[in-house]
Structure 1
């Protein structure tokens, strides 16, 4: 009945002709094919033709998908074609598989949006690590020197310069706040005190606020700068105070260096030795602005604007430390939009409370009302009556 409704013109043409495909003695349209001389049975040589996009076709595909234990499109299609021949087979099978929640959880796909504009801190000509982003990666395993002792977890605290993309790595033993504070102290002793630190507001970063206040006091050089400035004013030869230190090789200036005036517009022949060093440094940052900064104009990925994730949508929250089947479920309860009215962060309700996550950490479940999960096979002309009424 479905063939006569959805393939009516082909069915009428095959009633009187003997071409392939053909109509068997039961009135079913079957594929002719080239397997006539094979050892397959009659149904495999001449499978029944199924119309594209019909409910019965999708129900049969869903049945074979479950029978094949949620196999891939090629395996499910091969199993179906031993008895049926759905038109547009691979796309029809992929359509049903893409709506399966269990198949999606095995191989989830994260959400994407238009790549955002660069913040102002990424486009300023600053020394390395003056504005820094930090995050943890890991865990990694290392073996102890003691024989037969199990491997021990460790992590890496990653510091990235916003201006130059320079990377500084610090090894930490765990994710606690004291370990992070120790790593930050080592970073500051090597790269200098940063003006701004950006993080993802993780627990160990949040717990460090009180200790960071004390750390800021310890590493603050404002009083030192004022004392050196006053000494330079009183000294007849202030250039003698600027001695070469390891910091000049690490960050390009001393840890307590004063802000130098702009000398890049002056004639280099008029400048003394230190001013020429400042001149070369300032010319470098001007070239950085003219040559490197313009390369950041292009969006390398996420070039198209896509709809925001709707409120109430069920999502998987990506966790790099767990397999996909163990990623927690959550429901979107709020979209947080930026200045360009694009929501790149969502507020989620999970089993343990509410949290915020970027959308590239979310996998939208295919919860569609047309999902074929337990659709029964229509009988007694039900499909014909339904489509005639529609």
Structure 2
């Protein structure tokens, strides 16, 4: 019996120099995941840094009789840190329509510091208009120093993702997909009025803001799960429970009952969802 000195090192060296063994036991390169941007992790005021995107067009009833339905669009705003969602209805894809939606969003949720979006023409037009307004106010001469300082501190920065890189906007793309899913289940191919559409949007917004960010408690003594709406209003929003009307025929329901029934029961006739 012989004891070979350094046999383990010799076997390891021989194994590593064998091309056949090296290829069969090769290790795949692991792609490193980049760190989250600072806007996604730093605590800020809700909707100070947000992303915006448009959802599929929907049709609402015209206020005039014997008129064709009107096409409207849905603007989805997503807060970066906690993924709180805000929904606005837009009349068309023009820059003035987006500017009006931004004004409504700003007076209801507060002034935005950064807005992220894709490279849509309506988003670029709104960004250029905001930049022109800021530059006009910034370089005005006279006794408006206080106003100019306030406008300079509250400047809105619009950031676009790279062209043809939709994965950069995965945060608002996921919110748009969820809103389309709920909208298709609630109204389907039906044409609803303007007031009904606003009510449905508010209910979809509450549903999206009720997704838990932490583990759902398994017992009654556990703490309540953290949801995005906690960072918006501080408490949990719960819809008022209403009796089920699924067994009542639609022709016996009032207009309000029919709208609420659509929010709780999916429609029978649906169509395939359009592209974002």
Structure richer in strand, relative to its length: 1
What is the TM-score with the length of structure 1 in the denominator?
Answer: 0.27
Larger Rg: 1
- Which structure carries more relative contact order (alpha carbon 8 Å, separation 6+)? 2
Q: TM-score, normalised by structure 2?
A: 0.38
